[in-house]
Amino acid sequence: MQRIVVEVMPKPEILDPQGKAIVNALPRIGIETFSGVRQGKRFELTVDGEVTDADLAAAREAAETLLSNPVIEDVVSVYAVDAAADATR
Amino acid sequence: MQRIVVEVMPKPEILDPQGKAIVNALPRIGIETFSGVRQGKRFELTVDGEVTDADLAAAREAAETLLSNPVIEDVVSVYAVDAAADATR
């Protein structure tokens, strides 16, 4: 079993109230490091068996049509990860 | 200017109604490829200048305390990306 990760972020020019709220809250927990925060979405799409090019193409199509709003969001990346391998970096 | 990406996903054992809704909607746009979908969050934290180990540690702390709910979510990854380099994969 493998997974395809799709990452979606608000377009840079779009106001991100969620991100603003976070960057204003961080000093309250003693973190002054970050000058900005933006919040987007991360999807994991499960594929039975190995990921094929057709699967990646289907994931891109899903990303562009269902998983993101092209008017206000960008699809940042679409890539396969092995479900067994821990996706932590 | 660099960014740190924080990725948060619902714990595997947690019900993901958003993901269920997506996996049920995909066939309606002709995509039958995926047996499961889970939706999480992706944050980009902006750092002025180069990312240091201290910045990464601050990002992990923010991830564990403010950007995720440890009861129902896992912090999947925390890593630096160069703001100039397009994060698309």
Q: What ipTM, to 2 d.p.? A: 0.89
pLDDT in tens, A9-44: 999 999 999 999 999 999 999 999 999 999 999 999
From chain A, pick out residues whose CB is under 8 angstroms from the CB of B48. 35
Residue B46 within any structural domain of the chain? yes
Report the 10 Å Cβ neighbour count for B23: 18
In whole angstroms, what is the distance from residue B1 CA to residue A36 CA? 11
Residue B38 structural domain = 2-82
Residues β-bridged to residue B40: A42
A88 occurs within a structural domain: no
Is A87 part of any domain?
no
B26: in domain: yes
Average pLDDT over residues A77-81: 95
Residue numbers in A near B61 (CB within 8 A): 29, 31
Strands B73-82 and A73-82, sheet pairing: unpaired
What CATH number does the domain containing B27 carry? 3.30.1280.10
Which residues from B are below 8 Å from A when comparing CB atoms? 4, 7-9, 19, 22, 25-26, 29, 31, 33-48, 54-55, 58-59, 61-62, 65-67, 76-79, 87-89
- Find tokens 């990921």 and name the residue: A51
Q: Does residue A89 fall inside a structural domain?
A: no
Question: CA A63, CA B76: separation in Å to the nearest integer?
Answer: 20
Q: Is residue B49 part of a domain?
A: yes
How near does any CA of chain A get to the CA of B8, in Å? 8
- Nearest residue to A19 via CA among A43, A40, A44: A40
Ramachandran angles phi, psi of A10, nearest 5°: -65, 145
For chain B, residues with pLDDT lower than 70 are: 83-89
Distance CA A54, CA A45 (A): 14
Interface of A to B at Cβ within 8 Å reads: 4, 7-9, 19, 22, 25-26, 29, 31, 33-48, 54-55, 58-59, 61-62, 65-67, 76-79, 87-89
> Binning pLDDT at 50, 70 and 90, where does residue A84 land?
low
Please state, in angstroms and rounded to a whole number, the distance separating the CA atoms of residues B55 and B52: 5
A56 within a domain of the structure (yes/no): yes
Is residue B87 assigned to a domain?
no
Q: Tell me whether residues A47 and B34 touch, CB distance under 8 A.
A: yes
Q: Measured between alpha carbons, how far is A42 from A67 in angstroms, rounded to an integer?
A: 9
Count of structural domains within chain A: 1
